[in-house]
Amino acid sequence: MRSLILGLALAAGFAGGAAAADFVVVSSTDPAIARGREVASGESLQIAQGRSVVLVDTAGQVTRLAGGASPVRAPRTQLASVNESRVQVLKLLVAPARVRRAAPSMGKVCPDADLTRFDGIVSVAQVDGCLTTARAAFDAYVLKAVGPEAP
């Protein structure tokens, strides 16, 4: 009986973990799938034939999914890799830039981080006033990982 209860508790825990967002859409040539959309591990995406979607997970893995006649599944991730705060940072990185209405503060310096690595980009993105720098580095990171979109 105890093992049955433990098994049910574990199953519920895994089911709850699967509902969390594991990926964020970085770019999409399919207008039905918006940039910034959260995607769960193993989720089916209906991507139109000839279109593609680029996803990034919280560990910085970049994946391009190509559309076809049948739905495409997002890759599976380890439960330990899901980090809700990183999902929010990823959403900031892919969100449209906001127009500043006030003058930027003078003397603000972004932290010295390796902006060719995902962890460095995430750390800089969280510093007030450094999101633009992090976005540029993130775009270069994604482009290096998957190459340019096919026409």
Average pLDDT for runs of 10 along the chain of length 151: 40 46 92 94 94 93 93 81 81 83 64 92 92 93 86 57
Distances (CA, A) of 150 to 48, 100, 121, 147: 14, 33, 26, 9
Nearest alpha carbon to residue 115 among 106, 107, 125: 125
Q: Is 126 inside a domain boundary?
A: yes
Whole-number pLDDT of residue 12: 40
Whole-number pLDDT of residue 104: 59
Q: Residue with structure tokens 């495409």?
A: 72
Whole-number pLDDT of residue 84: 82
Whole-number pLDDT of residue 77: 76
Whole-number pLDDT of residue 150: 62
Letter for the amino acid at 62? V
Q: Is 3 inside a domain boundary?
A: no
Structural domain count of the chain: 1
Domain of 70, in residue numbers: 20-102+109-146
Q: Is 36 inside a domain boundary?
A: yes
Whole-number pLDDT of residue 16: 43
Whole-number pLDDT of residue 21: 82
Strands (E), 8-129: 23-28, 38-39, 44-45, 52-57, 62-66, 72-73
Q: Is 98 inside a domain boundary?
A: yes
Whole-number pLDDT of residue 126: 92
Q: Is 5 inside a domain boundary?
A: no
